[in-house]
């Protein structure tokens, strides 16, 4: 948020990746199951 020229803020890229993976993995599972079910409209 604020720019401190004397001290660079800690690198949070790993934390960001972990946080998005934490929520992205179950969401991916849900979407996979959804796509599997949705294809029944065209095959069922």
DSSP letter, residue 5: S
Q: Is 2 in the site for another protein (CB under 8 A)?
A: yes
- Binder of another protein out of 5, 6, 14, 44 (CB under 8 A): 44
Cα distances (Å, whole numbers) of residue 42 to 28, 29, 32: 22, 21, 17
Binding mask 13-42 for another protein (x = CB under 8 A): --xx--xx-xx--xx-xxx-xxx-xxxxxx
Q: Could you list the residues that contact another protein (CB under 8 A)?
A: 1-2, 4, 8-10, 12, 15-16, 19-20, 22-23, 26-27, 29-31, 33-35, 37-44
């Amino acid at each position: 948020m604020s720019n401190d020229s004397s001290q660079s803020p800690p690198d949070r890229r790993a934390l960001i990746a972990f946080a998005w993976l934490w929520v992205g993995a179950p969401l991916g599972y849900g979407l996979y199951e959804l796509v599997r079910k949705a294809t029944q409209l065209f095959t069922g």
